[in-house]
Homo-oligomer: A and B are copies of this chain.
Amino acid sequence: MDTLASMTPENPVLPLRERKKLRTRQALIDTALELFGEHGFDRVTLDQLCESVEVSKRTFFRTFSSKEDVAAAPTQDLWTAFLEVLEDHPPQGRPLVSLYEEALVEAIGRMPSDTWAQRALASRRLAARTPSMDAHGLAFCNRVSREAAAVTERRFTLDSAEKGTAEEGIAALRVRLALDMLLSAFHQALAAWVAQPAGHTREDLTRRLRAACAELPGALAATAEPRGEEAVR
């Protein structure tokens, strides 16, 4: 075994240098979320953050690509896990969207149990009131969508429901649409999860994700009537 405290799930014994790197990385994330959460994202300078962690700004940028990046780490870890799961999943021939849904649920399950939910919550609360963080997160998700589409193409063949119609570009298009549906459902689920007053557990997030995905067919089929007070022109 190791020295009790300093053990991350996936490194029984990792080269000391690597462990140090991971430790400063984690310290940066935690301190960033704390400082940003208290004073606001753009009222805390990188110099202040770096000073708190006793790290040079140069080192910061070797670990994270931007100021937004450090605060978005929890969500990005989740999506990285999602991609991993998608590679390794022994998947059934079920609807594509459900496949993605299960992969994401599995990825949520892989996050470090208690700490992750708290960090994710702090991160998303911050993103909700910081436009640049929001933009950064969306761009990241978009990249994930592209990569997941590539994985899908490599690991699966598409059987569309009505057979024979699945031509070349159509299949690729459907994959991207299906992925974006999952992303959309997840974002709505996440927003609702963040907004709730208490009980921010992974299980609860999973539950909300499932609920949002279940509404996808309803959303596609829903019809709208104009409100009555409107006069016909």
Contacts and interface: CB of A to CB of B under 8 A. Distances in A.
Interface stretch (A16-24, A75-83, A118-126, A128-136): A128-136
Contact of A221 (B91, B95, B188, B225): B95
Contact of A95 (B93, B152, B154, B220): B220
A230 interface: yes
Nearest to A219: B177
17 contacts: A90-B226, A90-B232, A96-B219, A99-B224, A135-B138, A155-B226, A157-B224, A157-B227, A159-B222, A159-B224, A161-B222, A176-B184, A177-B212, A177-B216, A180-B187, A184-B184, A220-B220
Interface string A209-233: 0001001111111111111001011
A219 B174 contact: yes
Given A96-B222, A181-B184, A224-B96, A142 B152 contact: no
Interface of A: 90-91, 93-97, 99, 131, 134-136, 138-139, 142, 152, 154-162, 165-166, 169-170, 173-178, 180-181, 183-185, 187-188, 192, 212, 215-227, 230, 232-233
A188 B173 CA distance: 7
A187 B145 CA distance: 12
A191 B99 CA distance: 25
A221 B97 CA distance: 8
A152 B224 contact: yes
A158 B224 contact: yes
Contacts of A178: 219-220, 222
Identical subunits present: 2
A45 B27 CA distance: 35
Contacts of A165: 218
Given A154-B227, A155-B227, 19 more contacts: A93-B224, A93-B226, A95-B220, A96-B223, A135-B135, A152-B224, A159-B222, A160-B222, A161-B222, A169-B192, A174-B219, A175-B222, A177-B215, A178-B219, A178-B222, A180-B181, A180-B183, A180-B187, A181-B219
